[in-house]
Structure 1
Amino acid sequence: MTTTTTDLPQAGPDTRDSGATSFWASYGRAWVRTPGSALYLLAVFVLAMISVSLLASLFWTSVGLLVLVVGLPLMVLTLLIARGFGVADRFMLQLTGLPAVDEPEWNRDAPDNTGFWATLTRPLRNAHYWVYLIHGMIVSPIISTVSFVLTTVWLSVGLGGLTYWFWGVFLPSGADNGDWGQYVSSAVPWLFGGWDAWAVEVVLYLVAGILFTFTMPWVLGGLALGHHAVARSMLGRWSSDELAAEVRAEAAARGAAVHAEDVALRRLERDIHDGPQQRLVRLQMDLAALERRAEAGDGDAAAELAREARGHAKAALDELRALSSGVAPPLLQDRGLAAALDALATSSPLWVQVEVDPAIDRAVSQEVARTVYFVVAELMTNVVKHSGATAATLRATLRRSAAGAPTHLDVWLVDNGRGGAVLSSGHGLEGLRERVAGLRGLLVVESPVGGPTSIGAHIPLTVAP
């Protein structure tokens, strides 16, 4: 005997219940934002009235005075004030709970364009200032007036209708007040026939209050969304701002790199002049004296001069080798950054623990590798000379994105010295900061008095070719 079992269909989830739940949850969230939206819509009307009064007066006055010298700075002042009103509007929008409006790029000039006239006329050459002026003089007053009227109506009818039963008794009654409740009951006898005029008024006010209060989150939220959309398009960041910021960052990085390279070359020139060059001059003089002693047959003096010349030659070689540590060695070109950093640590008189991710050789470009090598070499020299440390840790790791691609190179040198290192103009760490900035990176110094000192270089990466 064969038995066939047929599964009965299972009842699915009640979508009506879930839909109702999601509706009321959404409605509750809208109510949470309603007080802030109402406060914003009322306050922005006051801000708009002040802005249109002040900006219109200043703008047209500056236009009339453009034939005079004072007209230009007055126009700039007007644009700056318009920017202030726009920033205030964006700040007040936070009351609505909507996403923040991003700050636009106010300075699109090259980093070295810092002259008086460039600074004075910068607002005149930036479209954001003019859009802020239009917003403060025209757009904001119009939409703020409309939203203020609607907000006032919804608040007064909603709240006033719900509480009319309480405050309505204090209103004077009589013909002068217009007994409209009696008029409604007479006009609609099938609905309010036989009703008292006061009861009709309370019921109608209550119905209107319930209707306006129920729809208040949507109406005030919609008005706030309208203001937010206008602010995002007129007061927010444009897509062209990203390009402008990128260009400025590239120009600043290029300027920092050029300046750092110039400082490094001058320092190398000074070190060669004060060190190996003087040794070689002394070596030349010793060799000349040695030649004279040899011609005179004074063997002992010649031997002594030969020993001194050999000592000067060795000292000059050692100084040249020390200076070359700041220049990329063949090891960096042949075996990569990881091996070069390990060699730096090995040649240091300190005990240095090395923690280097071997993947950095595939992730970093030659330009980044040379800069990192120079920075680490200079930092290790500073540790030996100034920190009083006995040990250090050199760490180089890759920071990766969610997809696993390397995005930053993080290099840290931590020593157990006395601390107190600071970034100050004219000192060695400032030069290293400029070198790292040339790659659009960041040099971080954490060096409390008493140590330890941690100095990190964080450099953004592009995929190495």
Structure 2
Amino acid sequence: MNTTSPLRRWAGGWWVAAHLVTDLLVGLWHWVPLLLLLLGAALVPLAGAGIPLLLLARVLLDASAALERSRLRALGVPVEDPGPWSRPGPWWRRWLLDPRPWRSAGHLAVVATAGLVGGTVVLVLAATGLAAVVAPSLARWTSAAPGGLSWPWGSGGPIGAPDAVVGLTGVALLLLVPLLARVLAVPETATGAALLGPSPQQREAALRERVDTLTSTRERAVDSVEEERRRIERDLHDGPQQRLVSLSLQLGMARRALDREGPDAARALLESASSSATAAIADMRRVARGVAPPVLTDRGLDAAVSALAATTPVPVDVEVSPDVSAHGPAGRPSATTEAIAYFCVSEALTNVAKHAGASRALVQLWQEAGTSGPRLRVRVQDDGRGGARPGDGPGAGPGAEGGSGLRGLLDRVAAVDGRLAVSSPPGGPTVLDVDLPWLGGGAR
């Protein structure tokens, strides 16, 4: 539902009027490729004499279409780039049979005809209205001056129209210009949205590719979650479970020693049990490192990442933009996005501590505008040795833990249409960049 106030829509109509006035300039330019196209097509039967003209028209049509897409976007009309055209056959055939420039020729014809008419009407009405508003005052000033001019309206002119009528007529014309401009721009915006974007075949191909991508990322996400579950089970069995079993045995031995031999004999066993309990707590923290902690749900990414950085052996600086820490106009990121971002930072810092040989790391989180809404950007950088080779055994830097760490990150990020990139030249620094949709995976 459009919630824009009528006054704001009327004021925005002046921007549409300015767009139509610029049609008077660009419309004349658009006639050049159109005339070359018509002339080239007419001369092709004459031993191919029109082919060079068609090639030149093809180049100019691409340039004119790019100009029109930018003008329509400035007008608020979302026009996608058509993207590359793929078709089997030699390059010259693909180049000539590419339907994009020939489809854009239809829109250019509209701009070169209806756009010129609309721009002329808007310019004449605006100029007439402005002249009618200022004419009475200007007429009085010129008639009062020595040798003043005689105006054909008002103040004793031959038409004899009162100054108020002339002024109100000018105001009415100026009020009408933005409303009329929106109507006159409809043919241009409609054909631009239909002809300058991707063709129906391209849209269908993009949808098929999208379905294939979603199917692949869904399978990878399921595999990643299953692999994470097995990792947690394995780590619990190999770490905290063994510690707790040992702790239970030591406490039982201490109780029997206390009954049989007294407090002195039980003290050594209790100290050993205390060490086992401390080690079990450390193991539990290590296992839970990749699991979203309660502080993430309660206080958000800023607090969760800061707590994570505080427990990392390598000193870590955390920089969080106000939009992320204080939750700006876009609100708080979705729970899925926050969990993936936290997991990426956790995995990256784990690998910094294990493999990078770094003396310091930096974590940055900020919001960035995207074509389909705001996005959450995450960057983890260290000053280590670099040389990380994702998926190629242990390496230095974030995400290089035997390749499986980065693969897990890639699967999680791809599941919500995110992007992950790693830069790790030999000698460092290693930089992990993550781009996630702000509301990916469902809003809160």
Taking structure 1 as the reference length, the TM-score comes to 0.51
Aligned partner of 1:420 among 353, 377, 387: 387
RMSD: 3.8
**What whole-Å deviation, never above 9, does each CA across 1:187-214 have from its counterpart, x for those lacking one?**
xxxxxxxxxxxxxxxxxxxxxxxxxxxx
Distance 2:24 2:433 in 1: 55
Distance 1:42 1:380 in 2: 61
Aligned partner of 1:335 among 293, 299, 315: 299
Contact 2:251 2:270 in 1 (8 A): yes
Q: Aligned residues, how many?
A: 276
2:350 aligned with 1:381, yes or no? yes
Contact 2:87 2:94 in 1 (8 A): no
Distance 1:373 1:36 in 2: 60
Distance 1:280 1:19 in 2: 78
Map of 1:292 onto structure 2: 256
Contact 1:249 1:440 in 2 (8 A): no
* More divergent stretch after superposition (243-252 vs 414-423): 243-252
> Aligned in 2, Cα 1:287/1:36: closer, same or farther, shift over 3 Å?
farther
> Aligned in 2, Cα 1:365/1:95: closer, same or farther, shift over 3 Å?
closer
2:424 aligned with 1:459, yes or no? no
SS at match of 1:421: coil
> Aligned in 2, Cα 1:385/1:233: closer, same or farther, shift over 3 Å?
closer
SS at match of 2:276: helix
2:422 aligned with 1:445, yes or no? yes
**What whole-Å deviation, never above 9, does each CA across 1:368-391 have from its counterpart, x for those lacking one?**
111111121111111111111111
Letter in 2 for 1:237: Q
* More divergent stretch after superposition (378-387 vs 88-97): 88-97
2:359 aligned with 1:394, yes or no? no
Name the % identity.
Answer: 35
Contact 1:419 1:447 in 2 (8 A): yes
Map of 1:237 onto structure 2: 202
**What whole-Å deviation, never above 9, does each CA across 1:114-136 have from its counterpart, x for those lacking one?**
xxxxxxxxxxxxxxxxxxxxxxx
2:348 aligned with 1:408, yes or no? no
SS at match of 2:384: coil
> Aligned in 2, Cα 1:441/1:23: closer, same or farther, shift over 3 Å?
closer
- The structure with the largest alpha-carbon Rg is 1
**What whole-Å deviation, never above 9, does each CA across 1:139-196 have from its counterpart, x for those lacking one?**
xxxxxxxxxxxxxxxxxxxxxxxxxxxxxxxxxxxxxxxxxxxxxxxxxxxxxxxxxx
Map of 2:410 onto structure 1: 433
* More divergent stretch after superposition (262-271 vs 297-306): 297-306
SS at match of 1:411: strand
Distance 2:430 2:233 in 1: 30
Contact 1:338 1:357 in 2 (8 A): no
Aligned partner of 1:315 among 268, 279, 282: 279
Distance 1:21 1:329 in 2: 60
Distance 1:356 1:455 in 2: 16
Matches within 5 A, 1:243-262: 243-262=207-226
1:364 Cα deviation from its structure 2 partner: 1.2
Letter in 2 for 1:84: P
SS at match of 2:376: strand
Q: Which runs of 5+ in 2 are unaligned?
A: 1-21, 53-85, 105-194, 393-402
Aligned partner of 2:315 among 351, 354, 357: 351
Q: Which runs of 5+ in 1 are unaligned?
A: 1-17, 44-81, 101-228
Contact 1:363 1:406 in 2 (8 A): no
Distance 2:49 2:36 in 1: 14
**What whole-Å deviation, never above 9, does each CA across 1:73-109 have from its counterpart, x for those lacking one?**
xxxxxxxxx9734998434446996589xxxxxxxxx
Aligned partner of 1:90 among 87, 94, 98: 94
Contact 1:40 1:93 in 2 (8 A): no
Distance 2:295 2:382 in 1: 25
Map of 2:124 onto structure 1: none
Distance 1:280 1:35 in 2: 87
Distance 1:456 1:20 in 2: 46
Distance 1:407 1:20 in 2: 37
SS at match of 1:237: helix
Letter in 1 for 2:244: L
**What whole-Å deviation, never above 9, does each CA across 1:212-235 have from its counterpart, x for those lacking one?**
xxxxxxxxxxxxxxxxx9xx978x
Contact 1:419 1:452 in 2 (8 A): yes
SS at match of 2:374: strand
> Aligned in 2, Cα 1:343/1:93: closer, same or farther, shift over 3 Å?
same
1:304 Cα deviation from its structure 2 partner: 0.9
> Aligned in 2, Cα 1:342/1:33: closer, same or farther, shift over 3 Å?
farther
1:366 Cα deviation from its structure 2 partner: 0.6
Matches within 5 A, 1:133-172: none
1:428 Cα deviation from its structure 2 partner: 1.2
Letter in 2 for 1:304: A
Contact 1:422 1:445 in 2 (8 A): no
1:288 Cα deviation from its structure 2 partner: 2.7
